[in-house]
């Protein structure tokens, strides 16, 4: 077990982000108002992080292996959390951190998204299963009810969620409708007054064993796709809906992932019927940032274990960290974790400014970086955990050393709340829309405002510029292929079908990988301009961004069309 006694004060990079990077004056004024005492507010938020960091490191982290070993309790049809998990959550509730973003008027701490995510990162470092229960069971339903609920709904649910007296969930996914939300079939029909009846099934619902659930359902007759959806609150009491089962998983074993059945379930509408998709998007965007930060937490745990082991393990007369290949692994892991954290908290700040400050530019920027935070934070976590396992050698597969659990838990992060491939499609779709509206950006510094305006120093400057150039080259290649398929109408608003966009759909993840590395190089390079000692890491990130962007541009250029040939073969077999 690591000797770290505080996951906040013992994490020098997280402390630096809090103390020197986050523009707290802007966040405080957006969240608390123009007349807020910035220094006092920030001091209070820092105390919260320090308090949480100590409890999480000394109480939750030591119980993580037991939470994983016991898993979900299935007892005579009842599904519940195991006792160590329950103890973890009870302790957080006792500290006033059950749902820390709930405003003080409802019994919460009123923390901004940025601080809430710092707590989430520390929890994910200690035990990802506990963090999932905390985030989905308390924070997510509370956020949706606060934003869209009536005064009566807020008064009824928010104090209970803020105190940890009830646990909820958010139910979107269905057996036949995973990422394709428009195919969901759960229905809501009005009965009387504010009572609706739900019918349908939901699957893969995190924290689904709780006391209530917010359900996305079709509520407008004849509607299709993403139109005609609504959100509804259903209490479980009295068997109002059935928790059918909890899945058996090899990852986040302590967190119940449930299937729910609604057969005439009584529910009240949350927000406007028919506006459910627009409303749920606020949850999805924050959840995707949150999952990226989950990855950072797990990767931080794996990095700490690898650093500790590599310093203590002696082979060939010296600690293995002094062997060049292992040293390079550790530097790669450190750069990945630090870069992911820098990008994630830039996004978290933008989310606070967009949500509370109604900052339209922040809203546009956070839309750009959100899928990149999710992609890089989670794919990076898998890579970091894999390297930590390799550094441990044979003992890495022994449960006593924890890195096997980190590896298993990391594997869920690129999957839920939108797979890495879905994030890639989101990122590239927006990028291409922007490019098609402004073709001149293809001969300038690129279609991304954030990348175009970046100002780096040292070696990072030239490597970053080269990476950006390779990204522009890749975009030009892809657009030329789309033009050959569909004509120049793409620059005049022509509606494009998937057949036209084939090259972009095929290479979306390659382009996203290049964009993510470029943004990481950007944020680390910008930090290095103002903080001493950070330039070497910025240089490493920019060099990696250049290599990744060059590799992906070459892969796109050398595409031989075999993928589309195979798709055509499969299509003919289906027809």
HEC per residue, 161-207: HHHCCCCCCEECCECCECCCHHHCCCEEEEEECCEEEEEEEEEEEEC
pLDDT-derived band at 4, boundaries 50, 70, 90: confident
Which class does domain 170-274 fall in?
Answer: mainly beta
How many Cβ atoms sit within 10 Å of the Cβ of residue 95? 17
pLDDT-derived band at 192, boundaries 50, 70, 90: confident
Q: Rounded to the nearest 5°, which phi and psi values hold at 262?
A: -115, 120
Q: Which of 161, 152, 142, 159 is nearest to 106 (CA)?
A: 159
**CB-CB contact of 174 with 201 (8 Å):** yes
pLDDT of residue 348: 98
Q: Which residue has the tokens 């339209």?
A: 360
pLDDT of residue 501: 82
**CB-CB contact of 276 with 229 (8 Å):** yes
Residue 8: both structure tokens together:
């906040």
DSSP character at residue 71: -
CATH architecture of 277-418: Up-down Bundle (1.20)
pLDDT of residue 131: 98
Instruction: Inform me whether the pLDDT recorded for 133 exceeds 50.
Output: yes
- The CATH superfamily holding the domain 1-167 is Acyl-CoA dehydrogenase/oxidase, N-terminal domain (1.10.540.10)
pLDDT of residue 182: 81
Task: Write the pLDDT tens digit of every residue in 448-500.
Answer: 889 999 999 999 999 999 999 999 999 999 988 888 877 666 656 666 666 77
pLDDT-derived band at 1, boundaries 50, 70, 90: very low
Instruction: Inform me whether the pLDDT recorded for 330 exceeds 90.
Output: yes
Delimit the domains of the chain by residue range: 1-167, 170-274, 277-418, 438-574
Q: What DSSP assignment string belongs to 426-477?
A: HHHHHHHHHHHH-GGGGGTT-S-HHHHT----THHHHHHHHHHHHHHHHHHH
Distance separating alpha carbons of residues 135 and 154, to the nearest angstrom: 18
How many Cβ atoms sit within 10 Å of the Cβ of residue 93? 17
Share of the chain above pLDDT 70, in %: 97
Residue 539: both structure tokens together:
């240089």
Task: Write the pLDDT tens digit of every residue in 90-100.
Answer: 999 999 999 99
Supply the angle between the helices 360-392 and 276-312 in degrees, to the nearest 10: 30
Distance separating alpha carbons of residues 279 and 233, to the nearest angstrom: 14
pLDDT-derived band at 194, boundaries 50, 70, 90: confident
Give 492-549 as a 3 state SS string. HCCCCCCCCCHHHHHHHHHHHHHHHHHHHHHHHHHHHHHCCCCHHHHHHHHHHHHHHH
Instruction: Tell me the sheet residues that pair with 170.
Output: 214
**CB-CB contact of 132 with 206 (8 Å):** yes
Q: Rounded to the nearest 5°, which phi and psi values hold at 453?
A: -90, -5
SS3 144: helix
Residue 228: both structure tokens together:
């005609």
Q: How many residues does the chain have?
A: 575
Q: Which residue has the tokens 């293809």?
A: 442
Task: Write the pLDDT tens digit of every residue in 389-402.
Answer: 999 999 999 988 99
Instruction: Tell me the sheet residues that pair with 187.
Output: 199, 218
Distance separating alpha carbons of residues 84 and 70, to the nearest angstrom: 9
pLDDT of residue 493: 61
DSSP character at residue 102: S
Across 287-316, b (16+ Cβ under 10 Å) vs e yields bbbbbbbbbbbbbbbbbbbbbebbeeeeee
pLDDT of residue 489: 60
**CB-CB contact of 347 with 394 (8 Å):** no
Q: Looking at residues 272-293, what average pLDDT do you find? A: 92
- Is residue 244 within a helix (H) or strand (E), and if so which, with residue range? strand 242-246
pLDDT of residue 497: 67
């Amino acid at each position: 077990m690591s000797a770290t006694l505080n996951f906040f004060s013992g994490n020098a990079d997280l402390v630096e982000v809090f103390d020197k990077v986050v523009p707290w004056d802007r966040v405080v004024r957006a969240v608390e108002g123009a007349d807020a005492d910035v220094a006092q507010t920030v001091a209070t938020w820092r105390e919260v992080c320090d308090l949480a960091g100590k409890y999480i490191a000394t109480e939750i982290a030591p119980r993580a292996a037991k939470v994983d070993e016991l898993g979900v309790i299935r007892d005579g049809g009842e599904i519940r959390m195991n006792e160590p998990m329950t103890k973890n959550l009870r302790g957080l509730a006792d500290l006033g951190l059950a749902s820390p973003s709930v405003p003080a008027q409802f019994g919460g701490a009123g923390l901004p998204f940025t601080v809430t995510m710092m707590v989430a990162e520390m929890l994910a470092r200690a035990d990802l299963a506990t963090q999932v229960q905390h985030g989905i069971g308390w924070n997510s339903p509370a956020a949706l009810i606060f934003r869209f609920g009536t005064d009566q709904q807020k008064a009824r649910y928010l104090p209970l969620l803020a105190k940890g007296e009830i646990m909820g969930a958010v139910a979107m996914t269905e057996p036949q409708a995973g990422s394709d939300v428009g195919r969901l079939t759960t229905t809501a029909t009005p009965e009387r007054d504010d009572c609706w009846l739900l019918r349908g099934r939901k699957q893969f619902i995190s924290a689904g064993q709780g006391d209530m659930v917010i359900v996305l359902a079709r509520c407008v007759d004849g509607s299709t796709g993403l139109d005609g959806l609504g959100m509804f609150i259903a209490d479980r009491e009295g068997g109002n809906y059935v928790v059918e089962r909890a899945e058996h998983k090899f990852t986040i074993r302590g967190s119940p992932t449930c299937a729910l059945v609604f057969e005439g379930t009584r529910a009240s509408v949350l927000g406007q019927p028919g506006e459910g998709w627009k409303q749920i998007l606020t949850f999805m965007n924050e959840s995707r940032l949150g999952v990226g930060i989950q990855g950072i937490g797990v990767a931080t745990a794996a990095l700490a274990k690898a650093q500790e082991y590599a310093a203590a393990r002696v082979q060939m007369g010296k600690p293995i960290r002094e062997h060049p290949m292992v040293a390079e692994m550790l530097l790669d892991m450190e750069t990945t974790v630090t870069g992911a954290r820098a990008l994630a908290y830039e996004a978290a700040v933008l989310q606070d400014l967009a949500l509370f400050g109604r900052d339209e530019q922040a809203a546009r920027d956070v839309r750009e970086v959100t899928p990149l935070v999710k992609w890089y934070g989670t794919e990076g976590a898998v890579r970091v955990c894999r390297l930590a396992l390799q550094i441990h050698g044979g003992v890495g597969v022994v449960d006593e050393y924890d890195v096997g659990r980190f590896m298993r838990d990391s594997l869920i992060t690129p999957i839920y709340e939108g797979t890495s491939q879905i994030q890639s499609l989101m990122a590239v779709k927006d990028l291409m829309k922007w490019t098609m509206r402004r073709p001149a950006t293809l001969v300038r510094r690129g279609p991304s405002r954030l990348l175009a305006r970046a100002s780096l120093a040292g070696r990072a400057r030239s490597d970053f510029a080269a990476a950006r150039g390779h990204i522009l080259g890749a975009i030009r290649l892809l657009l030329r292929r789309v033009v050959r398929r569909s004509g120049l109408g793409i620059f005049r608003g022509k509606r494009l079908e998937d057949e036209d966009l084939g090259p972009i759909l095929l290479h979306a993840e390659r382009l996203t990988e290049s964009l993510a590395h470029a943004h990481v190089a950007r944020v680390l390079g910008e930090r290095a301009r103002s903080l001493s000692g950070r330039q070497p890491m910025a240089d490493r990130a920019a060099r990696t961004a250049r290599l990744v962007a060059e590799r992906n541009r070459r892969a796109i250029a050398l595409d031989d069309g075999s993928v589309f040939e195979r798709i055509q073969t499969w299509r003919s077999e289906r027809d």
